Amino acid sequence: MFRFASYYFLLFIPIVIYLFFMKRKNSSIEFSSIATIKKYSAHKTIKHKIGEWLILLGIILLLVALSRPQLVEQNKNIYKKGIDIALALDVSGSMESVDFKPSRIEVAKDVLKKFVDKRENDRISFVIFSGTAYTKIPLTIDYNVLDEAIAKTTTKDVNTDGTAIGMGIAVAVNRLKNSKAKSKVIILLTDGDNNAGLISPEAAMKLAKDTGIKIYTIGVGTNKTIMPVKDGYGNIVTYRQFTGGLDEGLLKKIANATEGKYFRAKDKNSLENIFKTINSLEKTKIKSKKTFQYKELYYLWLLFGLLFMILGIILEKLIYIKIP
């Protein structure tokens, strides 16, 4: 796109042209004798007009230069404003259950990594909990580091037995409490009920609510927990089956109190769909803004304008001298 930043200088061009022709019209010389005209007619060639025409052209080009011709480049800048997310994963022993193939924890890790890879411009923290909880990765936008940490997580990462849901929430809240993001979210994934930890789920839930943090809770597993039994060499020799263990009422209470949502995942497909739903609910805000860059082109017109002016003056005043 092309424009003149000071276009009003172009209005002087027709005025200059008008004055030029008026001057030529009024600059004729009266002679008393036709013989005098004939005497000088040999010198009145087209060359005498070149100088003044070059001066006119130079003035026009200088006016164009003053009008500041510009080449306009339009850019569309997209700004993405991310949210802050804390992933809280239960790594208690029951997550080794093989009702999910190959196990609950391996399926959870795989789905978490896919979720992380689909996010953009979000800061994400990774918290794990069993009988206690700790932060494995603080808020980061380095998704490669986050993926690696998730992949390396095992049920042996926390030495204390049990399921401390309250502690998991509290540590996740601690990661987000100083965040200035408009949207702060905890995604809590567990297969059990709260039976350990120094902080109750109710206290942690209130802390999250007061801090403006939304909690999505996900109950993982079928109605049966199937635990592999290994020998001294680490080989599976048999399986033990248990029923119950998941406190859905507590998870619903936590989600409702913080304006989140509770989900139940009984297989890998349902867990993947849950994270797709959360991904669609917690969208990154996108704003676009048009910006313009202006490339000045006046110097070309200025250069040629001055060149023609100087050349015209030389021809007019020094070489092709007018008849007095």
- Domain count along the chain: 2
7 and 40 share a domain? Answer: yes
Question: Which token pair is 291?
Answer: 């910006």
268 and 225 share a domain? Answer: yes
Which 8-state DSSP code applies to residue 317?
I
CA 20 to chain centre: 57
Pairing of strands 184-190, 84-90: parallel
Q: Rounded CA gap, 93 and 288, in Å?
A: 47
Residue-wise DSSP of 244-311:
----HHHHHHHHHHTT-EEEEESSHHHHHHHHHHHHHHSPPEEEEEEEEEEEE-HHHHHHHHHHHHHH
Question: Cis (ω within 30 of 0) for the bond into 102?
Answer: yes
Q: In CATH, what number is assigned to the domain containing residue 143?
A: 3.40.50.410
| Domain containing residue 32 | 2-74+291-319
Question: Which token pair is 182?
Answer: 């408009």
69 and 131 share a domain? Answer: no
Q: How many Å is the Cα radius of gyration of the chain?
A: 41
Q: How much helix, strand and coil, in percent to the nearest 5, is found in the chain? A: 45, 25, 30
221 and 102 share a domain? Answer: yes
Q: Rounded CA gap, 148 and 163, in Å?
A: 24
304 and 258 share a domain? Answer: no
In a domain, 108, yes or no: yes
In a domain, 324, yes or no: no
Residue written as tokens 């304006």? 259
Q: Provide the whole-model pTM.
A: 0.66
pLDDT one digit per residue (tens) for the chain, 324 residues = 778 888 888 899 898 888 888 876 665 544 444 455 454 444 445 556 787 888 889 899 999 989 988 888 877 665 567 799 999 999 999 999 999 999 999 999 999 999 999 998 899 999 999 999 999 999 999 999 999 999 999 999 998 999 999 999 999 999 999 998 889 999 999 998 999 999 999 999 999 999 999 999 999 999 899 998 888 888 888 889 988 789 999 999 999 999 999 999 999 999 999 999 998 888 766 555 667 788 888 888 899 989 988 888 887 776 655 555
Q: Rounded CA gap, 61 and 309, in Å?
A: 9
